[in-house]
Amino acid sequence: MEEFYTENLQIAYDKRIIVESLNIEIPKGQITALVGANGSGKSTILKTMARLIKPNKGAVFLDGKKIHQEPTKQIAKELAILPQNPSAPDGLTIEELILYGRSPHQTGFKSRSKADNEMIHWALKMTNLLDLKERPLDQLSGGQRQRAWIAMALAQDTEIVFLDEPTTFLDMTHQLDVMNILKELNQVEQKTIVMVVHDLNHASRYATHMIAIKDGQVAASGAPVDVMTEETLEAVFNVKADIVLDPRTDVPICIPYETCSGCEIKDVVRELEPDVLTI
C-alpha cells in the first residue's frame, strides 16, 4: 500500500457543510486514532475515508487513485470497515458472519475456496473465537459479538481496517480485549488501522498517531505526546486536565478535572466577590 490521504475534502449532510477543505494523511502500518468531542465530525470523516459517504468536493486517495471513482469490489479488497452498531440476520453463526467478509474475493455462486477457509480460520484465531464459531451471534456477550464483527472485517484480507468506536457499550475488560486485538493486528500483521476512539486514554495508549478533530477540522495531529496536551484538550474538548505519563508505557494520560464552562462560572463569581463583600 502507498499513500492514503484526503485532499481538500468537503463533506455535507443535505446543504449543511460538516467538513471543509480537509487534508489529512494516514501513516502506513500505524494505528491512527481520530478523537474529538461529540458532533466534531470525526465519524463522518472516517466514513468518507472508508467510502461509505461521498464527498461534495475533494477526494480520498489510495495508492494514487480516487477511491470514490474505483469499483466497489476493488476497494473492498484494499480496505475494510466496522461501523458503529452493526447488525446481522437472526440465527447467523460467527462463522457464517465471517464468511461475508470473503465476498469481495468470491465470484458468482462458487462454494468456499481453500483461501476462504484459511482466512476464516485465521480471523477466528486472531479474535480468539475458534471454539465459538458455531454459536449464533444472538447468544454471544457484547465483547464476543464485537470480536466476531472484527473477525469479519479481518476476513476481507485488507491492508487497511477502519473502525468506528469499536469499544462502544463494552465493559472495561472487553474494551481491553478489543484494543489488544487491534494492537496485535498492527504489530504482528502490519495492518494499518484507523479508528474513531471515544476514550482519550485508550487512543493515547494504543495509537501511534492521533488526529484531534474540532468542527470538522484538524486541531492537532501527531504522536500521542504531541496531541495529548493541556492546550489541545481545552481547545478541542472544552475541559481542563492534568497530563501525566503512564509509568508502564510512558504514554500521556489525561485526568480531566473541570470543564471550561465551569471555569467561566468561577471567574464570574470572583468578579462579583468584591461587591458581595461591600454589602
Cβ neighbors of 189 (< 8 A, separation 6 or more) are: 126
Cell numbers for 79: 480496505
Confidence band for 108, pLDDT divided at 50, 70 and 90: low
Q: Where are the domains of the chain?
A: 4-78+158-223
List, as one string, the DSSP characters of 23-47: --EEPTTSEEEEEE-TTSSHHHHHH
High-pLDDT (> 90) share of the chain, %: 82
Q: Is 6 helix (H, G, I), strand (E, B) or coil?
A: strand
Please, are residues 213 and 36 in contact by the beta-carbon 8 Å criterion? Answer: yes
Look at residue 119 in the predicted model and tell me its pLDDT.
95
Instruction: List residues bridging with 34 in a β-sheet.
Output: 196, 211
Contact status, residue 44 vs residue 53, Cβ threshold 8 Å: yes
> What pLDDT is attached to residue 266?
47
**At residue 1, does pLDDT exceed 50?**
no
Q: Name the CATH architecture for the domain at 4-78+158-223.
A: 3-Layer(aba) Sandwich (3.40)
Enumerate residues 6+ apart whose C-beta is below 8 A from 218: 22, 23, 24, 211, 212
39 Cβ neighbours under 8 A, 6+ residues apart: none
Report pLDDT for 185.
95
Name the more confident of 162 and 84: 162
Backbone angles phi, psi at 128, to 5 degrees: 55, 45
C-alpha separations of 32 from 1, 129, 182 in Å: 16, 26, 11
pLDDT reported for residue 278: 36
With 80 as the cut, is the pLDDT of residue 272 above it? Answer: no
List phi, psi (to 5°) of 41.
105, 5
Tell me which residue of 143, 166, 21 sits closest to 80, measured CA to CA: 166
Gap between the Cα atoms of 154 and 148, Å rounded:
10
Per-residue pLDDT tens digits for 47-65: 999 999 999 999 999 999 9
Identify the pLDDT of residue 2. Answer: 53
d(CA 35, CA 50): 17
Sorted by sequence, the CB contacts under 8 Å of residue 222 that are 6+ apart come out as: 209, 210
Helix axes 114-126, 172-189, angle to 10 degrees: 130
**pLDDT digit string, tens, across residues 184-232:** 999 999 999 999 999 999 999 999 999 999 999 999 999 999 999 999 9
